[in-house]
Amino acid sequence: MVNAQSLTVKGKVISDEDGQPVIGASVLVKGTTTGTITGVDGGFSITVPAGNRTLVVSYIGMKSAEVQAENGMVVRLQPQTLEIDEVVVTAIGIKRSEKALGYSATAVNSEDITMTGNRSALNALQGKVAGVEITSASGAPGSSTRVIMRGYSSLGGSNQPLYVVDGVPISNGQIGSTDINGGLDFGNRANDINPEDIESMTLLKGGSATALYGSRAASGVILITTKRRRIKK
């Protein structure tokens, strides 16, 4: 009988959000170790045994789906939304569960940053991260902000952390000028970022966390992730 025979099924896995093919998605016969992964066009081919035509399709960052196998099938995977307080952004944009990290990483979400009404995202961190010293060069609006995360480890160099915005390191040096009356403070780069545009800030203090950024991260790293607008087609 036909029902007693195995069946070779060909199909395609796409994103339900934008219809793009999902490359490298796992397609597994439920309850078995028989499986395959999708190709560059999201396509796959798998042989399912008689009596078990249920496929489990999964991909990192998307919700798993259980579907019945049939030729020409199209599986749509939906994005999996994670709460910002459950994950933190670590080096090179990798997201990890905060409980799974073996080093100090503190995440501050956009609500905590904007609730004070401070125009400086760095000054808004005051009192929100343990062990971090945040001071302003002066009381004037727009003045430079100094952040000390791992103590004073250098006498001649900078003790400031490295700032990484959406994966791009930026210089946070003070912009100033001198004249006969003293000096003028024009602020520093990190203070130019609008707090309303920030989705989250992650402060990395552990040596193993900052090693990927080299010597520039000797005093820690502040990762800034900005908000993104998703456009559905």
Distance CA 108, CA 103 (A): 16
Quote the CA–CA distance of 197 and 45 in Å, as a whole number. 44
Under the banding of pLDDT at 50, 70 and 90, the label for residue 209 is low
136-145: long-range pairs with CB below 8 Å, 24+? 137/174, 137/185, 138/185, 140/185, 142/186, 142/187, 142/191, 143/185, 143/187, 144/174, 144/175, 144/176, 144/185, 144/187, 144/188, 144/191, 145/120, 145/188, 145/190, 145/191
In a domain, residue 194? The reply is yes
CATH number at residue 46: 2.60.40.1120
In this predicted model, what pLDDT tens digit does every residue of 42-68 receive, in sequence order?
999 999 988 888 999 999 888 899 999
Across the range 204-219, mean pLDDT stands at: 73
Nearest to 106 by CA among 230, 227, 223: 223
Residue 233 lies in a domain: no
| Domain stop point among 50, 77, 104 | 77
How many other β-carbons are positioned within 10 Å of the β-carbon of residue 229? 4
How many CB atoms are closer than 10 A to CB 39? 15
State whether 72 and 158 are in the same domain: no
Q: For residues 73 and 9, is the Cβ–Cβ distance under 8 A? A: yes
Is residue 89 over pLDDT 80?
Answer: no
What is this structure's pTM? Answer: 0.51
61 and 174 fall within a common domain: no
Chosen domain end from 55, 77, 99: 77
Overall number of domains in the chain = 2
Please state the rounded mean pLDDT for residues 213-232.
76
| Contacts for 142 with CB less than 8 Å, ≥ 6 apart | 119, 120, 186, 187, 191
* Domain, as residue range, for 188: 87-226
pLDDT digits (tens, 9 = 90+) for 141-191: 667 787 887 777 666 667 788 888 888 888 766 555 444 445 566 667 777
Q: pLDDT class for 138, splitting at 50, 70, 90?
A: low
Mean pLDDT of the chain: 77
**Strand-pair category, 54-59 with 26-29:** antiparallel
